[in-house]
Amino acid sequence: MKTSLAAIGSYTPEKILTNADFEKMVDTSDEWIRTRSGIRERHIAADDQATSDLSVIASKRALEAAHLSPKHVQAIIVATATPDMLFPSTACLVQTRIGAPHVISFDISAGCTGFLYGLAIAESLVKSGYDNILVIGADTLSKITDYTDRTTCVLFGDGAGAALIKRTELEDCILSSYFAADGSSWQLLQQPGGGSRIPASHDSVDKRLHYIKMQGNEVFKLAVRAMSEAALKTLKKASISTSQIDLLIPHQANIRIIEASAKRLHIPAEKVLVNLDRYGNTSAASIPIALDQAIREGRAKKGDLILMIAFGAGFTWGGVLLRY
């Protein structure tokens, strides 16, 4: 059985925080944020919007684009680091709200690489007989962002993207993929409080342990290396060279990470999709949002070779080569 990308949909919340807004909140400047990260603005979920709310809208858009009733969905995978709650899974909340039948539904935790991990799992499900699988990358990092910490708060935005993966007799859309993880440096990017190691308590909240903690410059170095490795290993598996790629969609964390990775790979800037200036780092949502944009704007055309690469908390990293 082969895998096809039938449709994609995405959603970002209406509220926007600009760099000028952050100048009023912390000791920062538009100039610092733009030059160090490439970000100008980001979409932020409303107080009453959680990750499943964003996921439901993105999923409905994908189903509409595919002209498919939710009744035909056979699996739902949500990649997220910010589930509505620790349990039940966000995927179960999406299942009931979109009106899908009682199908297999679960979350995966692979940080910003989660959507790509989800695609690989969907591919395996297709091979074992499933059809019409929703792979959702969704995060509301604003809910766990410390808006008094200038080193992290300017970076993150909220959003969701959903891909509908179908079974096909025709060509496989996933030509190759590569995935890796290394937990030895997990401390560099984490949300320490609220889990079973440091359960939520007055003390954990007073110590602000329920917020994202990141040693940005250390993460930066690992990210460039890992994203380049993911690209080369993914391409090698399909015997495709970097010059054959029509579009590179990297995880949108930092313009300097993207440029350094593209330079290492000798992929020219015009073949690299960058939208983090408008969305910031939306974690697991960044690649599906960018893929949706590429398709809607005609930057991804039928038959194009699209390489998607990501790096995120864990650390996890990986790549998926798509024939659109």
Tell me: does residue 225 bind ligand UT7 (CB under 6 A).
no
Instruction: Compute the distance between CA of residue 89 and CA of residue 110 in angstroms, rounded to an integer.
Output: 14
Instruction: Compute the distance between CA of residue 242 and CA of residue 265 in angstroms, rounded to an integer.
Output: 7
Q: Which of 112, 153, 173, 254 is catalytic?
A: 112
Q: Which two tokens stand for residue 43?
A: 């979409």
Tell me: does residue 219 bind ligand UT7 (CB under 6 A).
yes
CA distances, 169 to each of 13, 126, 165 (Å): 37, 11, 13
- Tell me whether residue 33 or residue 305 sits nearer to ligand UT7 (CB atom): 33
Q: Is the CB of residue 131 less than 8 Å from the CB of residue 173?
A: no
Total residue length of the chain: 324
Tell me: does residue 109 bind ligand UT7 (CB under 6 A).
no
Helix (H) or strand (E) holding 124, with range, is helix 114-127
Q: Hey, CA dihedral for 81, 82, 86, 87, is it positive or negative? A: negative
The reply to whether 281 belongs to the active site is: yes
With CB under 6 A as the contact rule, the residue among 65, 109, 151, 242 that binds ligand UT7 is 151
Tell me: does residue 250 bind ligand UT7 (CB under 6 A).
no
- Please identify, among the stretches 13-21, 99-107, 216-224, 258-266, the one whose residues bind ligand UT7 according to the rule CB under 6 A: 216-224
- Tell me whether residue 196 or residue 217 sits nearer to ligand UT7 (CB atom): 217
| Shortest Å, Cβ 69 to ligand UT7 | 35
Neighbours of 40 (CB within 10 A): 17
CA 104 distance to own-chain centroid: 21
- Please identify, among the stretches 40-48, 126-134, 146-154, 203-211, the one whose residues bind ligand UT7 according to the rule CB under 6 A: 146-154
The reply to whether 112 belongs to the active site is: yes
Residues forming the active site: 112, 251, 281
Residues that bind ligand UT7 (CB under 6 A): 28, 32-33, 36-37, 112, 150-151, 154-155, 189, 216-217, 219-220, 223, 253-254, 257, 281, 311-312
